[in-house]
Chains A and B, each alone.
Chain A
Amino acid sequence: DVKVTQSSRYLVKRTGEKVFLECVQDMDHENMFWYRQDPGLGLRLIYFSYDVKMKEKGDIPEGYSVSREKKERFSLILESASTNQTSMYLCASSFQGAKNIQYFGAGTRLSVL
């Protein structure tokens, strides 16, 4: 079974803090993705990576950065957390190629106070 693991289910941070969200997959997938999910807006792509050290901006990259130093791990970084970044964050991974299914982690619910 494919496993995509997000390190925290719930996080509470203060405005201005630097926040790291970690995601690890065990299927040797080339692609990894970070989404945020908000009521009424659905899932929106923040960043994705198609190989180690490679990244591409999604639809809403502002206020976020990412790091992919190893194939299995993809980190989302909030340089200076703000209250409008309170959201559910979902990580996904897939093999390259448009026929391949994306597998999702359980999500991290982040609250920024």
Chain B
Amino acid sequence: KQEVTQIPAALSVPEGENLVLNCSFTDSAIYNLQWFRQDPGKGLTSLLLIQSSQREQTSGRLNASLDKSSGRSTLYIAASQPGDSATYLCAVRTRDTDKLIFGTGTRLQVFP
């Protein structure tokens, strides 16, 4: 059964730092991996989607990488800002299904 883990569970950094959030999964037979952002009390917003054939995706200050063979993905946030404060969730889609399996998230706080 696929399990998705995110470490650390919480992270607090000063504004301007570059940071890395980690996501690991137990079954490497994934179709794709998606990173989401969730603000307190709100729904999820999709940030990046990486197909299994890709190694990375970039959007603005965000860069997500995927190493399928080792069961890992990282979300790199450059020059962090207080507005980046949120919970970041990764989710994997196993083959031949539209269902996502989520990690428990990393709660990020960026302080001025």
Contact = CB atoms under 8 A, between A and B. Distances in A.
> Are A and B associated in one complex?
yes
B5 to A, nearest CB: 10
Interface SS majority for chain B: strand
Interface in A27-57: 31, 33, 40-45, 48, 50
A74 interface: no
A42 B99 CA distance: 15
Contact of B102 (A42, A48, A94, A96): A42
A63 B9 CA distance: 30
B104 A101 contact: no
Interface residues of A, number: 28
B89 A107 contact: no
Interface string B30-45: 0110101000011111
Nearest to B36: A104
Given A42-B89, A96-B98, A101 B34 contact: yes
Contacts of A97: 98
A104 B45 contact: yes
B46 A101 contact: yes
Interface in A77-113: 90, 92, 94, 96-107, 109
Chain A CB within 10 A, most for which of B43, B93, B97, B103: B43
B105 A103 contact: no
Interface of B: 4, 31-32, 34, 36, 41-46, 49, 51, 89, 91, 93, 95-100, 102-105
